[in-house]
Structure 1
Amino acid sequence: MTNMIVVVAVALAMVLTILPMSTTALTCVDVEFDLLPCLTYIRSGGDVPSTCCSGLNNLVNAAKTTDDRRTACNCLKSLAQRASQDELDRAATLPDKCDISIPYKITPTIDCSK
């Protein structure tokens, strides 16, 4: 599984380097890419990698508009729907562990319209 995560991260990085830079809206690919370094912690606990906190910070900084925040919320909601309760519990600790404020909780039932 770890090898697959590395392959996905490398593939996403390659795609991002060949795409033209623009001011397009936030996408679920952006959200997943920013949170990719958090997967190890979310799945098994332990220490939160600094790259996870950097990714979470990038996500918060990228979600400046209401539409971007709703997109990020819906992406996180979709990811949360596939997570176990233990994974949700660990994911919920990330903002505090990274000392980053996010405008919503990561839950499978969050109302992203607000």
Structure 2
Amino acid sequence: MRSLLLAVCLVLALHCGEAAVSCNSVVSELYPCISYVVQGGNVPASCCNGIRTLNGQAQTPADRQSVCRCIKNAIGGVSYSSNNLNNALSLPAKCGVNLPYRISPSTNCDSIN
């Protein structure tokens, strides 16, 4: 599991966008979510705080697209089970955050306004 965590962080760190919200910020804010994505259970409060922070920081379409790409690249760069992907998809709702995109490898980040 530690190798999965390391792979996610490396993929995110390598895909920095030019928007105000960098992939390094995305990694930092979403790091607490990895245990839930991998193992399920209760969503850590620090994970929800990170999702809220990123959502608040992504004020422009370019910012939202950048955050989306970072998340999408992380999901696409690591082999997840369907449970892991479902856990990732459920995070915004479980945290009470309405993201303008789905956390999914099929999300078209370019279409986000």
TM tier relative to shorter chain: 0.7 to 0.9
CA distance in 1, matches of 2:87, 2:23: 21
CA–CA separation in structure 1 for the residues paired with 2:43 and 2:32: 9
Q: Does 1:95 align with 2:92?
A: yes
Q: Percent identity?
A: 34
Deviations 1:22-46 (A, max 9, x none): xx71111111111001010000001
Instruction: Give the TM-score normalised by the residue count of structure 2.
Output: 0.78
* CA apart distance, 1:83: 4.2
4+ residue segments displaced more than 3 Å = none
Which residues of structure 2 form unaligned runs of 5+? Answer: 10-18
- Residue 83 and residue 72 in structure 1: after superposition, are their counterparts in 2 closer, same or farther (change >3 A)? farther
Tell me, in whole angstroms, the C-alpha distance in 2 between the residues paired with 1:96 and 1:66.
21
Distance 1:34 1:100 in 2: 14
Unaligned runs of 5+ in 1: 9-23
- Higher relative CO (Cα under 8 Å, sequence separation at least 6) belongs to 2
2:63 paired residue among 47, 65, 68:
68
- Provide the C-alpha distance between the structure 2 equivalents of 1:96 and 1:83, rounded to a whole number of angstroms: 23
Q: How big is each residue's C-alpha offset from its partner over 1:73-102, in whole Å with a ceiling of 9 and x where there is no partner?
A: 110110111241221110111111111110
Q: 1:108 aligns with which of 99, 102, 105?
A: 105
RMSD of the alignment, in Å? 1.9
User: Number of paired residues?
Assistant: 96
1:73-92 paired onto structure 2 within 5 Å? 73-81=68-76, 82-84=78-80, 85-92=82-89
Q: TM-score, normalised by structure 1?
A: 0.77
Task: Compute the displacement of 1:69 (Å).
Answer: 0.5
